[in-house]
Structure 1
Amino acid sequence: MPPDPETARLPSFFLPHGAGPCFFMDWDPPEAWDRMAAYLKGLTATLPAPPKAIIAVSAHWIEPAFTVAAAARPELIFDYYGFPPHTYQLTYPAPGDPALAARVVELLQAAGLPAKEDPDRGFDHGVFIPLKLVFPEAEIPVVPLSLAAGLDPARHLAAGRALGPLREEGVLILGTGMSFHNMRGYGDPRYAAPSDAFDAWLAEAVADPAGRDARLAAWTEAPGGLQSHPRGQEEHLIPLMVAAGAGGPGRCDFTDRVLEVSLSAFRFD
């Protein structure tokens, strides 16, 4: 995909993907995910131009090295459990983009980051659930990118920097996860304060142009950091690093209290 001087540079995002298929089922309380769903549905109106393709970095795909899905017609991976039967009938027939997948591998390798292709990988729910709201027509090619084992923040920031030039070519880079992901904390009011503290710290860190990378790389030292993302659950934060590395000036783009905790989205222009 050669650079097009008339193509608008797209932002990168870290988006909350919700809890399983939460946007497509009844919930208690029923309005729990409504504001987040509305934010995701309104995202395209904030873009300077329609994307030509999407790179989606999901919390639900981890490989020993960065791995890029190169399937032309990706299938859905229903990697959630115990939800209503109709949520396993959801569809998202967006095409893949093998040429872009190869380009992603080249850019990562050129930055000294081991990377490879997976010819069969489909869309896990961290990809297709939010994209069903953001781009319901499922017409834009989507290329999933895995996290790298070890979940080193600096490594993922570097991956984002390597991919950042693609934004000039109309490629939208999305990290999807959750800004709070402590499975014991959802619905527990005792986690409200730690989640608020970490959410406020994230907002300050992403908006710090000089210190952003260093601050994000040291997220475990942040107020409420390890209470919001205990060891073993931090994979839901790491896609933020790729989005931050790829993007320019950052800011909190959305925040809400869901199930007693703060959950936010971040945009990098």
Structure 2
Amino acid sequence: MTSARMPTFFLSHGGGPWPFMDGPWRDRCAWLERSLVDIPQHLPQRPSAVLVVSGHWEEPEFTVSSGEHPGMEYDYYGFPQEMYSIRYPAPGSPGLAQRTQQLLAQAGWDAKSDAQRGFDHGTFSLMKVMYPDADVPVVQLSLKATLDPDEHFRAGEAIAPLRDEGVLVIGSGLSYHNLRAFGPAGEQPSASFDAWLRTVMGEPDPRKRRQQLAHWQQAPGARASHPREDHLLPLHVVAGAAGDEPATCVYGELFAGALAVSSWRFSTDTEPSSFDRRAFAS
């Protein structure tokens, strides 16, 4: 049976282990949570597996997690002690890891695999909400430590065939990620960068979209929003995997009342999202 082509997503993943928490930290992610719960309902089919390009994993070469039963990477600090024993027990998929590595190698990358790599919070924070039963296999793909936009775009092009094989490809990051200005100080730069991102994502010519993403540092508020590009580059990977397909905003708000953030779906299906509070923002 032939699989329907899966969309690709760039998803802002929120902060730390928020889906495992109660109280104010969880509450501030309520709108994000609703948008993530909605995603599986609008896929053409249940994914055979999920490949997450995580902004929390960098390696000298593109690397895929290949363990059958991945553990956890508690890559955050300052949270209650119980947040360092949480589990998201989804299986891995050595087969998908091998297929991803093969596609990258065919495109000229010296791709690696890592059977010990566990789920970091860029992965389990999203998956806990989207698939709470942990019954969909999950594989992670690292960033390449060069953090070169074009390399990540081309890596996305290489793995695009996975979309026709029932695999949901997600880029997990944050459209604004400056922890030193995570509050009112980030209001203006995040608004400027988000406005630029919305213009770029709405560009009907995919060649121009790619060119503008490659030169993202020239955008208003760019470096104030991303002192390091680790949380932005997953977007380049999924945009590469999307090819000519248009982008639709599937989540947008002023996170914590100040920071303009957004998530994006690439697909020929461009139905508007009811979770974009900033759809008509100036």
Match of 2:50 among 32, 54, 63: 54
* Letter of the structure 1 residue corresponding to residue 231 of structure 2: H
Q: Which runs of 5+ in 2 are unaligned?
A: 268-282
* Letter of the structure 1 residue corresponding to residue 194 of structure 2: D
SS of alignment partner, residue 251 of structure 2:
strand
Partner residue, 1:73: 69
Superposition pairs of residues 1-269 of structure 1, within 5 angstroms = 4-5=1-2, 7-26=3-22, 28=24, 31-187=27-183, 189-208=184-203, 209-230=206-227, 233-247=228-242, 248-259=245-256, 260-269=258-267
**Kept after mapping to 1: 8 A contact 2:19/2:128:** no
Offset, 1:160: 0.6
Q: Which runs of 5+ in 1 are unaligned?
A: none
* Letter of the structure 2 residue corresponding to residue 119 of structure 1: A
Structure 1 range deviating more: 189-198 or 18-27: 18-27
Distance 1:156 1:211 in 2: 17
SS of alignment partner, residue 263 of structure 2:
strand
Offset, 1:200: 1.6
SS of alignment partner, residue 27 of structure 2:
coil
**Kept after mapping to 1: 8 A contact 2:92/2:137:** yes
SS of alignment partner, residue 112 of structure 2:
strand
Distance 2:96 2:22 in 1: 37
Aligned residues, how many?
A: 262
**Kept after mapping to 1: 8 A contact 2:19/2:26:** no
Identity level (%):
47
Offset, 1:23: 3.0
Partner residue, 2:272: none
Distance 1:76 1:93 in 2: 9
SS of alignment partner, residue 123 of structure 1:
coil
Deviations 1:125-184 (A, max 9, x none): 111111000111111111110000111111001011111111011100001010000112
Deviations 1:35-62 (A, max 9, x none): 0111111111111111001111111100
Distance 1:49 1:90 in 2: 29
Offset, 1:90: 2.0
Distance 1:169 1:27 in 2: 39
SS of alignment partner, residue 59 of structure 1:
strand
**Kept after mapping to 2: 8 A contact 1:206/1:244:** no
Offset, 1:190: 3.4
SS of alignment partner, residue 181 of structure 2:
coil
* Letter of the structure 1 residue corresponding to residue 251 of structure 2: F
**Kept after mapping to 2: 8 A contact 1:175/1:239:** yes
TM-score by structure 2 length? Answer: 0.89
SS of alignment partner, residue 20 of structure 1:
coil
Offset, 1:234: 1.5
RMSD over equivalenced CA pairs, Å: 1.4
Distance 2:139 2:150 in 1: 22
SS of alignment partner, residue 235 of structure 2:
helix
* Letter of the structure 2 residue corresponding to residue 44 of structure 1: P
